[in-house]
Amino acid sequence: MSEPVLSVKNLVVEFPSRNAVFRAVDGVSFEIMPGEILGVVGESGAGKSMTGSAVIGLIDRPGHIAGGEIRLQGERIDDLPEEIKAKLRGKRIGMVFQDPLTSLNPLYTIGRQLVETIRTHLPLSEEQARRRAIDLLAEAGIPKAAERIDSYPHQFSGGMRQRVVIALALAGEPELVIADEPTSALDVSVQAQIIKVLKKLCASRGAAVMLITHDMGVIAQTADRMVVMHRGKIVETGTVADIIRRPREPYTIKLIDSIPTILRKPGEAFPPAVAANDDSAFVRIKGLVRDFEFAMAPFARLRGKTETFRAVDDVSFSIPKGKTFGLVGESGSGKSTCAKMIVGLLPPTAGQIFVDGHDVWAGALGRRQRRRSVQMIFQDPYASLNPRWRVKDIIAEPIRALGLSRNRGEIEARVAELLEKVRLDPAAMRKFPHEFSGGQRQRIAIARTLSSQPEFIVCDEPTSALDVSVQAQVLDLMSALQEEFGLTYLLISHNLAVVRQMSSNVGVLHNGVLVENGPVDEIFENPRADYTRKLLDAVPDISKVA
Amino acid sequence: MLTFILRRLLQSIVVMLVVAFVAFLIFRFVGDPVSSMLGQDSTMADHEQLRERLGLNDPFYLQFFRFVANALQGEFGISYRLQQPVTQLILERLPATIELAFASATIALVFGIVLGIYTALRPRSLETAVVMTVSLVGVSLPTFLIGIGLIYVFAVELKMLPSFGRGEVVNLGWWRTGLLTQSGLRSLILPAITLSLFQLTLIMRLVRAEMLEVLRTDYIRFARARGLSKRAINFGHALRNTLVPVITIAGLQLGSVIAFAIITETVFQWPGVGSLFVNSVQVVDVPVMAAYLVFVALVFVVINLIVDILYFLVDPRLRDGAKSGR
């Protein structure tokens, strides 16, 4: 039996604050064998990223390791002086971060960043390092690596940048790679490729991987063993298949249950399928088109020369009253542009949008009608609530802006009622948004949406910023409210499982074109368009566990 | 890139025209120049004749056009006070102001950036606390007080440095420099420090704030996770990202150092453009004021143009943005 690459024993990480000590990691022990991929799952705040930071020695002050030991190849590393620890980084332990858009220095070419890293760790000349960098990029799946090495990070797409980040992390030939949410910021179809690249590169070098993620689907497809973390502690350890099929701890069971899956659970009632493009439907979208113009050189513009990019191309669908229509697609497919046109934030180039028979873009009357009956829920509950306003004012804003009521007592009573509807304590109305968690904030956002008594709500990625278990609660709330008020939803999401769980009909958007549109089960079971099939295949899902 | 610069140039021309218009309006609002040029005992006929000769009877737009045309050739008329061509007056005094401005800008940039980096990298040290506290003094004290204080300490009490003037100067063609003589250099020290102090603290605080921000970013974390040396991270990766906003502020500050050195020049009796302007204001010497206004605008427009071009050199993202015309 060979020695583990990494062994962590009783690790404790503490953050002292003014009057208390917060234990971010509390007695964590695990081992990773050579070539093994260990998945670490848990919700945000569970201490999984902190464990990774502790191993590589990058805990931000005032946090520090307060106990336990970390051994790399049997040799203790947590008590080494900072200079020696710094030499381990990149050389023996590599790290991949979550967001490829921010992990590369925007001002230097990727080649320069690679060469710099390679030469820090290996005794190579500039020329040799450059050749090595090209090889690494090619291995990471960057086409025409020799030409692209002198490009800047912003000239690459998100998925390509993450390949560059992986190449950088592996540049010093480390024996252990810590991947902290390496695919969470990427599209589904790109996610699968990145996981493949990471797996392949680590396997070819025999490097062990510590894969930190909140996405159980990613772990199911990638890891050999996994640990489940909750509030700084490991609650369960075992092989991936074991834990997913037979979770023992109540927390693990809850976590796995709350994951939406794209396969329908047996015995679940099928929502009745409804005919698409029905003329009597509550919401009708007809031939929606949106062009964006690129301004060319100033003189070309004078001659009327512009280059246009068609973000949304002839999209038509309809939603019957009280139903949910799911709109899926990758980033850049035009989903959000559609949403903006439907709620009236962006004028369409062509096409019409009817809500309850009114054209929302028809003059002042249409606008007034639209403001009251169409509302929107945004993706990021941290950014969509004004941090300087009290919850009461946030929720009451649509009531005041639309002049639905001017009576102070009446408004307050209405806000209290709305808070109860979204399962929050009415006393919350006197607090500020920062006093709430992400899930609670999204409920406040929903309460604000409901305050003008809309009939149609556009939800743009309403749960993608939330943890899985919180996501389940918010989705449940949305369904309950739909039943109670007969709301009609347009649900925009890149998460196919969420869409399957919530919608009766679904449309698949690809490069601005609606490639497929129909009842949700039909499309998920028998996708006709190639793109839909590709999208469905790429979804990491716990049901795909080996 | 080229279209971008062309567009900026067009915008600059518009700005200059607007400023020229304002300068031109000054002429018309401070009263009739004819009555101040002719004596008390002149006749109406004399007035009329002079008005005709100066073109003051022409329509408004024609006069403005003539003003701009003259300005383009560097003609701003004759100073009322000194009876010399305004352009010549300004050019004579320009070297003094520019030498002072560049000396103080250099002090401000070098010390501002070095101290800014130092205080950002050692946020908890005693030195940082001291520098930050002292810098507060630099921001809050008015320039003239600092100047008088320096004169008192170094010129009056210690008798180390001269308290006024430029010292001996050497003529290099039309450029009269004080940088080549010992007394010229010694005279430069106090005014340059006085003028630079505010800019220095401003740049230092800006660099520090930006650097702290950049050090928190993901790419710096990633650079550390790759095991790069401290020097490579702090000076290779962090510093350059810090510079983009610093260039903007430093550029504008350099502009205001050249244009508004008035107070420092007055305190130290520095024979520059600023003191010329102050003296002209006192006697309502309109041609000098108008020319000064146009000159200041030109300084700002040119510096802004240079700042925009520097952006391109520092930030590759802008280069691509310009290619697609956005």
Instruction: Kindly state the average pLDDT of the residues B44-73.
Output: 78
The alpha carbon of B153 is separated from its chain's Cα centroid by a whole number of angstroms, namely 27
- Give residue ranges of A with CB < 8 Å to any B CB: 56, 58, 86-91, 94-95, 97, 99, 102-109, 116-117, 120-121, 152, 154-155, 165, 168-169, 171-172, 294-298
Q: Domains in chain B, please, with CATH?
A: 2-72 (no CATH), 86-323 (1.10.3720.10)
Choice among A82-91, A169-178, B167-176, B193-202 with the minimum mean pLDDT: B167-176
Structure tokens at A427: 């006393």
Chain A contact present for B2, CB below 8 A: no
pLDDT tens-digit readout, A397-426:
988 888 888 888 889 999 999 999 888 888
Q: Residue A211: its pLDDT value, please?
A: 92
Q: What is the mean pLDDT of chain B?
A: 82
- Do residue B3 and residue A103 have CB atoms under 8 angstroms apart? no
- Do residue B227 and residue A89 have CB atoms under 8 angstroms apart? yes
Distance between CA atoms of A313 and A221, rounded to whole angstroms? 35
Q: Give percent above pLDDT 70 in chain B.
A: 92
Helix axes A110-121, A158-169, angle to 10 degrees: 10
For residue A367, the distance in angstroms to the closest alpha carbon of chain B comes to 31
A321-346+358-544 topology per CATH: Rossmann fold (3.40.50)
For residue B275, the distance in angstroms to the closest alpha carbon of chain A comes to 43
- DSSP helix/strand/coil, A68: strand
Is the distance from CB of A335 to CB of A188 less than 8 angstroms?
no
Structure tokens at A65: 């390791």
Is the distance from CB of B196 to CB of B107 less than 8 angstroms?
yes
Chain A contact present for B241, CB below 8 A: yes
Distance between CA atoms of A391 and A396, rounded to whole angstroms? 8
Q: Which residues of chain B does A152 touch, with a Cβ-Cβ cutoff of 8 Å?
A: 316-317, 320
For residue A53, the distance in angstroms to the closest alpha carbon of chain B comes to 9
Helix axes A158-169, A188-205, angle to 10 degrees: 20
Q: Where are the beta strands (DSSP E) in chain B?
A: 170-172, 175-177
Domain residue spans of chain A: 35-58+84-257, 321-346+358-544
Distance between CA atoms of A67 and A57, rounded to whole angstroms? 14
Distance between CA atoms of A98 and A37, rounded to whole angstroms? 17
Let me know if the fold of A35-58+84-257 is the same as that of A321-346+358-544: yes
pLDDT tens-digit readout, B271-326:
888 888 888 887 777 788 888 888 888 888 888 888 888 887 888 777 765 443 33
Q: Tell me which residue in A120, A155, A294 faces B227 most closely, judged by beta carbons.
A: A120
- Identify which of A261, A159, A248, A250 has the alpha carbon closest to the alpha carbon of residue A220: A261
Q: What is the mean pLDDT of chain A?
A: 85
Q: Alpha carbon of A443 to those of A414, A420, A425, A436, A491: distances in Å?
A: 16, 10, 11, 10, 16
Return phi, psi of residue A213, to 5°.
-160, 160
Three-class HEC string of A477-515: HHHHHHHHHCCEEEEEECCHHHHHHHCCEEEEEECCEEE
Sheet holding A6-16, edge to edge: A21-32, A6-16, A64-72, A75-76
How many residues make up chain B in this entry? 326
Q: Tell me which residue in B228, B230, B315 faces A117 most closely, judged by beta carbons.
A: B228
Instruction: Kindly state the average pLDDT of the residues B252-260.
Output: 79
Is the distance from CB of A529 to CB of A522 less than 8 angstroms?
no
Which residue on chain B is closest to A172 by alpha carbon?
Answer: B226
Structure tokens at A219: 């772990």
For residue A55, how many C-alpha atoms fall within 13 Å in the half-sphere facing its CB? 33
Q: Reply yes or no on domain A35-58+84-257 having CATH 2.40.110.10.
A: no
Q: Which residues of chain B does A89 touch, with a Cβ-Cβ cutoff of 8 Å?
A: 224-227
Look at strands A513-519 and A505-510 and give their pairing.
Answer: antiparallel
pLDDT tens-digit readout, A253-310:
888 888 777 766 544 544 554 554 556 778 888 888 988 876 544 444 455 556 678 8
Q: Which residues of chain A does B125 touch, with a Cβ-Cβ cutoff of 8 Å?
A: none
Query: Which helix or strand (DSSP H or E) is residue B304 part of?
Result: helix B286-314
Which of B30-39, B174-183, B187-196 is the most confident on average? B187-196
- DSSP helix/strand/coil, B56: coil
Concatenated DSSP letters of A384-435: SS-TTS-HHHHHHHHHHHTTS---HHHHHHHHHHHHHHTT--GGGGGS-GGG
- The larger pLDDT score, comparing residue A367 to residue A433, is at A433
- The larger pLDDT score, comparing residue B169 to residue A149, is at A149
Distance between CA atoms of A315 and A287, rounded to whole angstroms? 5
pLDDT tens-digit readout, A429-471:
888 888 888 888 889 999 999 988 898 999 988 887 788 778 8
**Rounded (5°) CA angle A328-A333-A335:** 55
Q: Tell me which residue in B226, B315, B317 faces A90 most closely, judged by beta carbons.
A: B226
Q: Is the pLDDT of residue A546 over 50?
A: no
Query: Which helix or strand (DSSP H or E) is residue A183 part of?
Result: none
Q: Which of A49, A96, A99, A103 to mutate to test the interface with B (most CBs of B within 10 A)?
A: A103
How many residues make up chain A in this entry? 546
